Amino acid sequence: MKSNILVVDDEPVARQSLTDILKLEGHIVASAPNGQAAVEYVRTHNVDLMIVDLKMPGMDGLEVVQVVNQVSPETEVILLTAYGSTETAIQALRLRIHDYLLKPASPAQIISTVKKGLSRRSARSHLNSVSLADEGGQEVFNLKDGTTVDLSRRQIKFKSKIEHLTPAEGRLLKILMENKGKVFSHRELVLLVQGYDTSQQEAPEILRPLVSRLRHKLEQFPSLSEQVVSVRGTGYLYEGDK
């Protein structure tokens, strides 16, 4: 099955070179000369993976990724840059970027990381298409204060307040609540929630934004606030009813 790839680079030669390499691999490839054009394209087209240059006039690569994460969270992203730095790499990981390549990247490097990125997207899409109800285990948790956590519908209710969870947030909360008091490592949670393996160093950076968003939603419910606990240097656990 052909994949839809978007190449975003303000340098015409680099943009064309990447496009040609990926077309030869059998992909459907579009290109954009700047960040704004890339964002507009993603709003109106299905994009499986995008390769984005970091340093572009106007909207830079990281700004593009921030918008794409909102508009098309299933799109995998590879950041391409001549300006490598640890700080940018960490920021890229926080934005859920699949990989980080320094220019000039060889065709073999580009093809390899694109292949891995598309495999990761496929795994994530499969997980998202499987409803939590089909995964077994407990679906509904009725807490002492009347709060209901319905993981088959990915929603939390308390009195008139209803909060909806994303598929990834729902999977994370389900894993933790079903195993009250058990500490899961960062790496275990990335594998269970996102569907791919990662290094012990990268896993906390990948997981942190997801946990932060989930905690923000749980804060609105007294019996769930502060129940997802960080275990320093290890991972997370769910403590249970207060």
pLDDT digits (tens, 9 = 90+) for 111-166: 998 988 888 777 666 555 544 444 556 789 999 999 999 988 999 999 999 999 99
187-215: b or e for each residue (b if 16 or more CB lie within 10 Å)?
Answer: bbbbeebbbbebeeeebbbbbeebbeebb
- Prediction pTM value: 0.55
Q: What is the pLDDT of residue 4?
A: 96
CATH top class, domain 132-238: mainly alpha
Distances (CA, A) of 26 to 3, 22, 100, 191: 8, 7, 23, 29
Q: What is the pLDDT of residue 132?
A: 45
Instruction: Please answer whether residues 117 and 49 qualify as being in contact, where contact means their C-beta atoms are separated by less than 8 angstroms.
Output: yes
Instruction: Please answer whether residues 224 and 149 qualify as being in contact, where contact means their C-beta atoms are separated by less than 8 angstroms.
Output: yes
Residue 41's identity, in one-letter code, is: Y
Q: Give strand ranges (E) for the chain.
A: 4-8, 28-32, 49-53, 76-81, 99-102, 140-142, 148-150, 155-158, 161-164, 184-185, 228-231, 235-238
Instruction: Please answer whether residues 52 and 8 qualify as being in contact, where contact means their C-beta atoms are separated by less than 8 angstroms.
Output: yes
Give the residue ranges of DSSP H helices in 29-85: 35-44, 61-71
CATH 3.40.50.2300 matches 4-129: yes
Q: Which residues contact 93 (CB under 8 A, 6 or more apart)?
A: 202, 205, 206
- The residue extents of the domains of the chain are 4-129, 132-238
Examine domains 4-129 and 132-238 and report if their fold is the same.
no
Distances (CA, A) of 113 to 85, 145, 147: 19, 48, 44
Mean pLDDT score across all residues of the chain: 86
Weakly modelled stretches of the chain, pLDDT under 50: 130-134, 242
